């Protein structure tokens, strides 16, 4: 049965800002653009509002959400900064870096946001999101605005396609600039842990903190509970590091040269002909869903180097290729 689409899409601007602010203060959820991916936002201090996020996404409630702030001053109302986290916020905020910080005793963040943890993930986004948080005057909890387990949306239309029957309002800020979710790090004493590779490359973070990042061991699910099993899943199977295209497959390419069989592929999209990682990251989710929509049962993916933003790209591809759960 076709989905009923009832959500409205409003172009980012003064009217959208006013409407989104009013909706959020009334305890509604609103899908908003950020520089990474679209988020499904709610007032982080309002329990029923946050519960609406989980309900709309059909997200397991043990999975904690990121709190979005205007900057360090707002974050300090509910979280505490060690010197290294402070240095990272100074260097990368506003931007695609999320810090996991200890919650303050007197914080007003609803426990649904943190899934009962004594830490909170915090990020200051750019663009419309930043203006909206300032207008609301409160932190906004926002996971990616997709149904749980599906590809994160990088356009307003992708949000509407995934959640349109479950949410009232999507603000359209155009395609997102970064295209993959934020990098998540947590400072543990002298150690800086990379919990999720993302829009800020590990090398850039290492240059600021003057030490190597420690990668979370595989299956360290407790550190970043959202990093479970098959995530970012398209309907098609994904075949990574392909050296040829088999009959009937679609191809997700990278760089100037196509692999064998590419001209017989059901459809071909190239993340970046110039092998530019930024361009590839910004196209990743959109191209995965377009190839998925082309109806191929398998998407062959050309090898992509793992340096810089390639780490996040390969992480998302590996999750998309992982064996599926019940969903």
Question: Taking contact as CB under 5 A, which single stretch among the options 141-149, 188-196, 235-243, 306-314 is the one that binds Mg ion?
Answer: 141-149
Binding ligand TXA by CB under 6 A: which of 75, 121, 169, 270? 121
Ranges within 254-293 binding Mg ion (CB under 5 A): none
Instruction: Show Cβ contacts of residue 310 under 8 Å, excluding neighbours closer than 6 positions.
Output: 277, 280, 304
Question: Taking contact as CB under 6 A, which single stretch among the options 114-122, 252-260, 287-295, 305-313 is the one that binds ligand TXA?
Answer: 114-122
Residue 116 or 256: the one with the smaller Cβ distance to ligand TXA is 116
> What are 257's two structure tokens?
């040269």
For the residues of 120-174, what is the DSSP string, one character each? EEEE---THHHHHHHHHTS-EE--BSS-TTSPPPSSHHHHHHHHTTT-SEEEE--
The dihedral region occupied by 116, where left means phi > 0, alpha psi between -120 and 50, and beta the remainder, is: left
Pick what 281 binds: ligand TXA, Mg ion, none; C-beta below 5 to 8 Å, kind-dependent.
none
C-alpha distances (whole Å) from 166 to each of 7, 30, 137, 288 are 8, 11, 26, 23
Binding ligand TXA by CB under 6 A: which of 46, 70, 85, 98? 98
When asked if residue 284 is in the footprint of ligand TXA (CB under 6 A), the reply is no
Residue 180 or 300: the one with the smaller Cβ distance to Mg ion is 180
When asked if residue 179 is in the footprint of ligand TXA (CB under 6 A), the reply is no
When asked if residue 153 is in the footprint of ligand TXA (CB under 6 A), the reply is no
Residues touching Mg ion, count (CB under 5 A): 1
Report in angstroms how near the CB of residue 132 gets to ligand TXA at its nearest: 12
Report in angstroms how near the CB of residue 88 gets to ligand TXA at its nearest: 15
When asked if residue 70 is in the footprint of ligand TXA (CB under 6 A), the reply is no
Question: What is d(CA 283, CA 253) in angstroms, rounded to the nearest whole number?
Answer: 11
Pick what 65 binds: ligand TXA, Mg ion, none; C-beta below 5 to 8 Å, kind-dependent.
ligand TXA
When asked if residue 197 is in the footprint of ligand TXA (CB under 6 A), the reply is no
Instruction: Show Cβ contacts of residue 130 under 8 Å, excluding neighbours closer than 6 positions.
Output: 70, 94, 124
When asked if residue 148 is in the footprint of ligand TXA (CB under 6 A), the reply is no
Residue 102 or 255: the one with the smaller Cβ distance to ligand TXA is 102
Binding Mg ion by CB under 5 A: which of 144, 183, 298, 314? 144
Contact predicate 300/239, CB 8 Å: yes
When asked if residue 237 is in the footprint of ligand TXA (CB under 6 A), the reply is no
Question: What is d(CA 29, CA 11) in angstroms, rounded to the nearest whole number?
Answer: 17
Q: Compute φ and ψ for 120, nearest 5 degrees.
A: -140, 140
Binding ligand TXA by CB under 6 A: which of 69, 136, 169, 184? 184
β-strand pairing of 298-301 with 237-239: parallel
Residue corresponding to tokens 């998540």? 184
**What are the residues binding ligand TXA (CB under 6 A)?**
34, 36-37, 39, 63-66, 98, 100, 114, 117, 119-121, 123, 142-144, 181-182, 184, 195-196, 223-227
């Amino acid at each position: 049965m076709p989905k009923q689409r009832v959500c409205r899409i409003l172009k980012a601007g003064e009217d959208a800002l006013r409407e989104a602010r009013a909706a959020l203060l009334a305890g509604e959820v609103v899908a908003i653009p950020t520089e990474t991916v679209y988020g499904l936002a709610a007032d982080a201090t309002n329990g029923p509002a946050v519960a609406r996020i989980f309900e709309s996404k059909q997200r397991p409630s043990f999975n904690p959400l990121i709190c979005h702030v205007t900057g360090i001053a707002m974050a300090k109302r509910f979280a505490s900064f060690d010197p290294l986290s402070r240095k990272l916020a100074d260097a990368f905020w506003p931007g695609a870096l999320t810090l996991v910080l200890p919650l303050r005793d007197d914080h007003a963040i609803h426990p649904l946001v943190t899934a009962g943890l004594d830490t909170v993930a915090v990020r200051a986004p750019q663009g419309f999101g930043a203006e909206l948080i300032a207008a609301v005057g409160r932190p906004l909890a926002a996971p990616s605005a997709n149904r749980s387990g599906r590809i994160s949306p990088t356009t307003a239309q992708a949000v509407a396609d995934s959640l349109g029957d479950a949410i009232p309002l999507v603000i359209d800020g155009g395609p997102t600039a970064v295209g993959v979710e934020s990098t998540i790090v947590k400072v543990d004493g002298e150690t800086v842990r990379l919990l999720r590779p993302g829009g800020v490359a590990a090398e850039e973070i290492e240059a600021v903190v003057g030490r190597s990042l420690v990668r979370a061991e595989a299956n360290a699910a407790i550190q970043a509970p959202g990093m479970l099993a098959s995530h970012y899943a398209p309907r098609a199977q994904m075949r990574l590091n392909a050296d040829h295209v088999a009959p009937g497959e679609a191809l997700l390419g990278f760089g100037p040269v196509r692999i064998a069989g590419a001209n017989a592929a059901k459809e071909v999209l190239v993340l970046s002909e110039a092998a530019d990682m930024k361009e590839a990251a910004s196209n990743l989710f959109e191209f995965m869903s377009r190839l998925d929509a082309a109806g191929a049962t398998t998407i062959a993916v050309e090898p992509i180097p793992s340096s810089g933003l390639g780490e996040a790209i390969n992480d998302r591809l590996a999750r998309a290729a992982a064996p599926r759960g019940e969903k």
